[in-house]
Amino acid sequence: VKIAALAGGVGGARLCHGLYQVSPERLSVVVNTGDDFRLHGLTLCPDFDTVLYTLAGWADPVQGWGVAGDTWNCWNQLQKLGGESWFRLGDQDLATHLYRSQRLAEGARLTQICQELSVRAGLSCALLPMADQPVPTRLRLPRGWVEFQDYFVRAQHQEAVLECRYEGANVVPPTPEVVAALSAADRIVLAPSNPFLSLRPILSLQGMADVWRACPARRVAVSPMIGSQAVKGPLAALLQSHGHPVNSLGIAQLLWEWADVLIIDEGDRELAAPIEALGLKVELAPTLMKDAPDRRRLAEVALRA
- Positions touching ligand FO1 (CB under 6 A) are 8-9, 35, 46-47, 49-50, 65-66, 87-89, 93, 152-153
Nearer to ligand FO1, 78 or 153 (CB): 153
Which of helix, strand or coil describes residue 220?
Answer: strand
Least spacing, CB of residue 142 vs ligand FO1, in Å: 21
Nearer to ligand FO1, 169 or 249 (CB): 169
The C-alpha atoms of residue 275 and residue 295 are separated, in whole angstroms, by: 24
Contact status, residue 268 vs residue 248, Cβ threshold 8 Å: yes
Task: Give the bridge partners for 163, in sequence order.
Answer: 140
Nearer to ligand FO1, 175 or 194 (CB): 194
* 270 secondary structure, DSSP code: G
Which of helix, strand or coil describes residue 177?
Answer: helix
Nearer to ligand FO1, 89 or 238 (CB): 89
Least spacing, CB of residue 204 vs ligand FO1, in Å: 16
* 59 secondary structure, DSSP code: B
Least spacing, CB of residue 66 vs ligand FO1, in Å: 5
Nearer to ligand FO1, 11 or 268 (CB): 11
Least spacing, CB of residue 140 vs ligand FO1, in Å: 18
Torsion of CA 260, 261, 262, 265, to 10 degrees: 180
Nearer to ligand FO1, 56 or 89 (CB): 89
Nearer to ligand FO1, 42 or 285 (CB): 42
C-alpha atoms less than 13 angstroms from C-alpha of 122 in its C-beta half-sphere: 6
Nearer to ligand FO1, 139 or 217 (CB): 139
Contact status, residue 217 vs residue 185, Cβ threshold 8 Å: yes
Least spacing, CB of residue 289 vs ligand FO1, in Å: 16
C-alpha atoms less than 13 angstroms from C-alpha of 234 in its C-beta half-sphere: 21
Least spacing, CB of residue 89 vs ligand FO1, in Å: 6
The C-alpha atoms of residue 117 and residue 113 are separated, in whole angstroms, by: 6
Contact status, residue 282 vs residue 262, Cβ threshold 8 Å: yes
Least spacing, CB of residue 199 vs ligand FO1, in Å: 11
The C-alpha atoms of residue 162 and residue 246 are separated, in whole angstroms, by: 16
For residue 189, the one-letter residue type is V
Q: Which of 211, 234, 288 is nearest to 35 (CA)?
A: 234
Least spacing, CB of residue 174 vs ligand FO1, in Å: 19
Which of helix, strand or coil describes residue 134?
Answer: coil
